[in-house]
A and B are shown apart, each in its own frame.
Chain A
Amino acid sequence: MDNPISKLKNLKPLPSGGQKEVFAAMHIDYGPVVFKKIKPNKDGLERTKREIIAVEKIKSVHIPKIYEHNCESSEKNIWLIEERIEGDNLRHLILNGKKFSTAEIVLFIETMLEQIILSEKVNIVHRDIKPENIILDTDGKFWLLDFGISRHLDLNSITPTNNPFGLFTIGYASSEQFRNFKKDIDSRSDLFSIGIVAYELIKGSNFYMQGTNGDVFKVIKKLETESLPNLHIDGDSKFQLSAFIKILGDHRRNRRPRNAEEALQIFNAVKTTLNF
């Protein structure tokens, strides 16, 4: 394969971290792309491979394509070329004070549930749904990114079973996920995160982070003991959308919808009660 750099132009660094360097660029064949250079640690190579597998298996028009990579030929200096989405991630939008309309909230939930339905079909749990990993593009379409810590239910887990904590983002992961209860992890963990992000889009802040001063242990305690409060949402006079977000983000896994398919069916019924 040609050196990928040779087909990339206008490389501009994007926020990077850890083992990754990320650039926005124009590709001669693909147009706008994101170019990622990764120096993986012990588990990083396998996680990157799984991210690629996840995107290829799920095949969604709301998940950026991975055009090229060298995961099969290199172990130390990996690169990926991904579809670049013109838009902004939800974290930036929230920080900039964007007020999300009810129509946008509905579209967000619907899009995310559809992604989880597709993931369920190929036995993959995203495990890292959070504002940083969701883009609202310039056409008003939501995109789900970064399957870097996705759990492939039909592959062996990368995280050791005896780890007291699994991989997670504090404030967005369900308790079964951060406690590394592997047998309990399924798409209901993603449903939880969708509920938490939906709440944040409406209220402008993460409920489980509020009043904790960022103290991780306080957040964990709150996550395991408190439920999302009721929401007042424009056009939701029957409080059905509020109730739906509450059951998605319920800290008791057993009370969430049993899968994303069921969640979407309930959501379709909820939509008929909205007036916006």
Chain B
Amino acid sequence: MDLHLQYGYNMGPLCKDLIKKWNEGLVILSPRDMELDQMKKLSKEIGKSNGEVVLDPQFYIPRADHYRLISHSFWPDQYDSALFNRGDVNLMLTNLKRDYNDVLNTKFFILPGLFTNIVNDDWFNFQSILLEEANKVEKQKDIYITLCLSKELMNNESDLHDLLEYLEEMEYEGCYLVPEPSTSYLTQDPIWLLNLLDLTAGLKLKGKKVIVGYSNHQHLILALSKIDGIASGNWLNTRNFNTQKFNNPESGNGRRSKWYYCPQALTEYQIPFLDIAKRTGLLDSLKTDPTYNSNFSDILFSGAQPTTVNYGERDSFAHYLHCLKKQANIAVKNSFELTKNSLNMEIETAILLTEEFKRNGINGRDRDYGNIADINLSAIAAFNVIRGLSLNHNWNNI
């Protein structure tokens, strides 16, 4: 499983740094945050570092008329008629291919997809038109459909299985899945997580490539369905799909606060809590293991009081994404069983560490993995029951 970079506001320099460090990587470009010229420039620079790009058309909520999105030439003038008119769909896809995907030299072609909380014959007909026209327009690159699913849909097992049945009739190579979270940044809802695992496993067992966008470290458990990648970015609205981002052009990026991601505890801590760790002699336990090869946070452990050092937002984001990539890359093991055991062990370790840190006043607050560890363990156990045997059997073929 790989980590891709979900482009967020002002993330260009960060993408360049990380791709250069990794000497590879995939950036999912965001028309909501970039003009075409910016995308061209970034794509070229990413290419120089052996990286690749794809374009997420972000056609999630067209009725919102997000001014930055509608300024792009692929955006239809009349979204409501364009959605169901084959000619208009073709025009939109032709523009997307010619003026964006070809120019940006994207790795594969992501189709526009609507934010949906209902899957029925109308949804299927719309997707079918889109896919049929896409296959006429794009004959070389792999085509990824976008499934942007509401939290209501994500919580409804029956609807998700209807979706899988519909998808069985469609010909496409991959799926770019954008699930709306049911609760907060880190989900407290085991059913949501279980359904995400179940859905992605259903797609993988059909031989599709699967990328889950707007992800965070809680999604590392998607290694269990052996998906191809998760995508994450700098701000929370790139780590968690938020419809507000596409409804309200001025929606900001939340409170600006620097966090340090402790990968072994799967928890982010605000820097003042690292001061407490220093005071209680636990700072070394929070330090990222050298095997991660992340130098972005070294300064926090240089001996000075962490709040006094020059640890910037960009360092924080880079450290998070770098560690997450390492974790994603090693999450999938040689069998489903080994992957499950390894994830369980990782979570058990995080529980022990976060408890120990908490006892000493070091609190991850709403990003403390200790708050959600049981949710993840529960989803893993239930997933093992419903999909374990099939996945174990098919592990080397998916």
Residues of A within 8 A of B (CB): 183-184, 224, 227, 230, 240, 243-244, 246-247, 250, 252-255, 257-258, 262, 265-266, 269-270
Q: Top 9 nearest A-B pairs by Cβ distance?
A: A254-B164, A266-B393, A252-B161, A254-B202, A266-B389, A243-B389, A247-B389, A254-B161, A255-B386
A258 to B161, CA, bound (A): 15
Q: How far is the CA of A246 from the CA of B389 in the complex (A)?
A: 10
Please, could you name 18 A-B residue pairs with CB atoms under 8 Å apart, sorted by A? A183-B169, A184-B165, A240-B389, A243-B385, A246-B386, A250-B386, A254-B161, A254-B168, A254-B202, A255-B202, A255-B387, A255-B390, A257-B390, A257-B393, A258-B205, A262-B393, A266-B389, A270-B389
Residue B228 CB within 8 A of the other chain: no
A250 CA to B164 CA, complexed, in Å: 15
Q: Is B157 an interface position by the 8 A CB rule?
A: yes
Q: List residues of chain A with CB within 8 A of the CB of B161.
A: 252-254
Chain B residues near A230 (CB, 8 Å)? 385
Q: Is B263 an interface residue (CB 8 A)?
A: no
Given known pairs A247-B390, A265-B393, A266-B390, the reply for A254 and B165 (CB within 8 Å) is: yes
- Using a CB–CB cutoff of 8 Å, the interface residues on chain B facing chain A are 157-158, 161, 164-165, 168-169, 198, 202, 205, 385-390, 392-394
Q: Which one of A183, A246, A265 contacts B385 once the chains associate, using CB atoms below 8 Å?
A: A246
> How many whole Å from A14's CB to the nearest CB in chain B?
40
Tell me, in angstroms, the Cα distance from A253 to B166 when the chains sit together.
Answer: 12
- Give the interface centre of B387, B392, B393 by most chain A CB atoms within 10 Å: B393
Supposing A252-B161, A253-B165, A254-B165 touch, asked if A243 and B202 sit within 8 A by C-beta, the answer is no
Counting residue pairs across A and B whose Cβ atoms lie within 8 Å, the total is 44
Q: Helix, strand, loop or mixed for chain B's interface?
A: helix
The CB with the most chain B CB atoms within 10 A, among A184, A230, A247, A254, is that of A254
Give A270 to B388 CA distance when docked, in angstroms.
12
How far apart sit A142 and B198, CA to CA, in the bound complex (Å)?
35
Q: Which chain B positions have C-beta within 8 A of A253? A: 161, 165
When chains A and B are docked, how far (Å) is the Cα of A255 from the Cα of B169? 16
Distance in Å: Cβ of B390 to nearest Cβ of chain A: 6
Q: A247-B386, A253-B161 are in contact. List 9 more A-B contacts (CB 8 A).
A: A224-B158, A244-B389, A246-B386, A254-B161, A254-B164, A254-B202, A257-B393, A258-B205, A266-B393
CB distance from B119 to the nearest CB of A (A): 13
A252 touches B393 (CB 8 A): no
Give complex CA distance A270, B390 in Å: 11
Q: Which residue of B lies closest to A225 (CB)?
A: B158
Question: Closest Cβ of chain A: how far from B38's Cβ, in Å?
Answer: 41
User: For A224, what are the chain B residues with a Cβ–Cβ distance below 8 Å?
Assistant: 158
CA distance A250 to B157 in the complex (A): 13
Cα-based distance from A217 to B53 in the complex (angstroms):
52
B residues within 8 A CB of A244?
A: 389
Contacts of A240 in B (CB 8 A): 389
- State whether B390 touches A269 (Cβ < 8 A): no
Task: Find chain A residues with CB under 8 A from B198 CB.
Answer: 255
How long is the Cα–Cα vector from A60 to B118 in the complex, in angstroms? 45
Distance (whole angstroms) from the CB of B359 to the closest CB of chain A:
36
What is the distance, in angstroms, from B382's C-beta to the closest C-beta of chain A?
10
A226 to B274: give the CA distance in the assembly, Å: 48
A246 vs B393: C-alpha distance when bound (angstroms): 16
In the assembled complex, how far is the CB of residue A181 from the closest CB belonging to chain B, in whole angstroms?
A: 8
Bound Cα distance from A269 to B386, whole angstroms = 17
Task: Quote the shortest CB–CB distance from A11 to chain B (angstroms).
Answer: 48
Chain B residues in 8 Å Cβ range of A246: 385-386
In whole Å, how far is A247's beta carbon from the nearest beta carbon of chain B?
Answer: 6
Q: Chain A: which residue is nearest B198 at the CB level?
A: A255
Tell me how far the C-beta of B305 lies from the nearest C-beta in chain A, rounded to whole angstroms.
Answer: 52
Residues of the A chain whose Cβ atoms lie less than 8 Å from the Cβ of B164: 254
Tell me, rounded to whole Å, the shortest Cβ–Cβ distance linking B16 to chain A.
41
Task: Looking at the assembled complex, report how far the CB atom of A254 sits from the nearest CB atom of chain B, in whole angstroms.
Answer: 5
Q: Which residue of A lies closest to B388 (CB)?
A: A243
How far, in angstroms, from A183 to B169 measured CA to CA in the complex? 10
Flag if B393 contacts A269 (CB, 8 Å). yes
Q: Which residues of B contact A254 (CB under 8 A)?
A: 161, 164-165, 168, 202, 205
Report how far A146 CA is from B157 CA in the complex, Å. 35
Which residues on the B side are within 8 Å of A258 (C-beta)? 205
Chain B residue numbers with a CB within 8 Å of A269 are 392-393
| Residue numbers in A under 8 Å from B387 (CB-CB) | 255
Closest A residue, CB atoms, query B394: A262
Query: Distance in Å from the Cβ of A187 to the closest Cβ of chain B?
Result: 15
A33 CB to nearest chain B CB (Å): 41
**How far apart are A263's CB and chain B's nearest CB, in angstroms?**
9
Q: How far is the CB of B125 from chain A (nearest CB, A)?
A: 15
CA distance A243 to B394 in the complex (A): 16
Closest to A183 in B: B169
